Amino acid sequence: MRAIVVHRLGPPEVLELADVPRPEPGPGQVLVRLHATGVNFSDTERRRGVYKNLTLPWMPGTEGAGRVVSVGPDTDAGLIDRRVAF
């Protein structure tokens, strides 16, 4: 899948578009195929290094909307294909 990845802190130019492995949802989690994403204040502050305890590389994206494509263990399979926002 394609994602924005941050390997070093700094200005917007540190954002890189990259191919990354598709994540697998863990227990109680879902995987969402995004239709829309947002960049919020916490994403920009993390990129700049204002918020501490950030492990690099890091993928911003704490806001989004799309459809559930898979579920992890102990997660209701009825969620698959549901529209969600977070």
Domain that holds residue 20: 2-85
For the stretch 21-34, pLDDT in tens is: 999 999 999 999 99
R_g (Cα) of the chain, nearest Å: 14
pLDDT at 10: 96
Q: Please, what is the Cα angle at 27 between 26 and 28, to 5 degrees?
A: 110
Number of domains, the chain: 1
Give the H or E element holding residue 5. strand 2-6
CA atoms in the 13 A half-sphere facing the CB of 13: 1
**39 pLDDT band (50/70/90 cuts)?**
confident
Q: Over 90: is that where the pLDDT of 13 sits?
A: yes
Helix, strand, or coil (residue 17): strand
Report pTM. Answer: 0.82
Q: Over 90: is that where the pLDDT of 3 sits?
A: yes
Whole-number percent of the chain with pLDDT over 70 = 100
Q: The domain spanning residue 59 has which CATH number?
A: 3.90.180.10
